[in-house]
């Protein structure tokens, strides 16, 4: 299996695969030029130096650095699987890239109600029912609009 097939198994879209290949190519060139190494025999120190290099030379924001790190993590996961070597990317993170979590729109009970109503074919009032559930869950809605 090649790297592209590995990414396809992870359900990464073609544009994402192209970005992975572009960033991995830059990493491979940098490794060859600075350490005379291939990614298969790179060390964690090499990877950390590369991350420092892209931070300073390419002047990338933390979120962009993190995106590149995620691509390199995928690549090293592929290498670890394909060549049975250690994955050097474990425990490496970019500071200042905290993920934001979205609050759920519906409670599990409301989702169950939606599913049940859809199953018993209440499609004509389905939109009004969703509107009603939204008003229940937000409790900030004061329009009083509810379907009969």
Structural domain of 49: 3-83
Q: Are residues 22 and 71 in the same domain?
A: yes
Q: What is the pLDDT of residue 144?
A: 44
Q: Are residues 21 and 56 in the same domain?
A: yes
Average pLDDT estimate for 82-96: 75
Task: Decide if 97 is inside a domain.
Answer: no
Torsion-angle region of residue 94: left (phi > 0), alpha (psi -120 to 50) or beta? beta
Q: Is 90 exceeded by the pLDDT of residue 88? A: no
Q: Are residues 77 and 106 in the same domain?
A: no
How far apart are the C-alpha atoms of 100 and 21, rounded to whole Å?
27
Q: Are residues 68 and 112 in the same domain?
A: no
How far apart are the C-alpha atoms of 143 and 27, rounded to whole Å?
56
Task: Decide if 45 is inside a domain.
Answer: yes
Torsion-angle region of residue 117: left (phi > 0), alpha (psi -120 to 50) or beta? alpha
Q: Is 70 exceeded by the pLDDT of residue 134? A: no
Residue 71, classed as helix, strand or coil, is helix
Top-confidence residue, 91 or 103: 103
How many domains is the chain built from? 2
Average of per-residue pLDDT values in the chain: 80
Q: Are residues 9 and 62 in the same domain?
A: yes
Q: What is the pLDDT of residue 146?
A: 43
Q: Are residues 13 and 68 in the same domain?
A: yes
Q: Is 80 exceeded by the pLDDT of residue 99? A: no
Task: Decide if 44 is inside a domain.
Answer: yes
Q: What is the pLDDT of residue 148?
A: 39
Q: What is the pLDDT of residue 58?
A: 85
Q: Are residues 112 and 71 in the same domain?
A: no
Q: Are residues 76 and 121 in the same domain?
A: no
Q: Are residues 17 and 60 in the same domain?
A: yes
Task: Decide if 79 is inside a domain.
Answer: yes
| CATH assignment of the domain containing 43 | 1.10.150.130
Q: How many helices (H) and strands (E) does the chain have?
A: 6, 0
Q: Is 80 exceeded by the pLDDT of residue 51? A: yes
Selection from 14-23, 48-57, 119-128 with the highest mean pLDDT: 14-23
Q: Is 90 exceeded by the pLDDT of residue 112? A: no
How far apart are the C-alpha atoms of 44 and 86, rounded to whole Å?
10
8 A C-beta contact, residue 111 and residue 85: no
Question: Could you say which DSSP state residue 40 is in?
Answer: G
Is the pTM here over 0.75, yes or no? no
Q: Are residues 68 and 129 in the same domain?
A: no
Other Cβ atoms less than 10 A from the Cβ of 68: the count is 22
């Amino acid at each position: 299996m090649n790297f592209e097939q590995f990414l396809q198994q992870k359900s990464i879209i073609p544009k994402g695969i192209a970005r992975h290949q572009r960033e991995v190519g830059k990493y491979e060139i940098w490794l060859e030029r600075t350490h005379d190494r291939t990614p298969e025999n790179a060390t964690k120190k090499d990877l950390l130096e590369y991350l420092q290099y892209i931070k300073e030379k390419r002047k990338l924001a933390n979120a962009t650095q993190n995106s590149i790190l995620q691509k390199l993590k995928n690549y090293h996961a592929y290498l670890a699987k394909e060549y049975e070597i250690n994955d050097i990317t474990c425990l490496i993170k970019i500071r200042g890239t905290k993920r934001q979590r979205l609050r759920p729109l519906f409670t599990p009970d409301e989702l169950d109600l939606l599913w049940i109503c859809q199953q018993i074919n209440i499609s004509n009032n389905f939109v009004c029912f969703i509107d009603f559930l939204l008003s229940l869950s937000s409790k900030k809605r004061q329009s009083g609009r509810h379907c009969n």
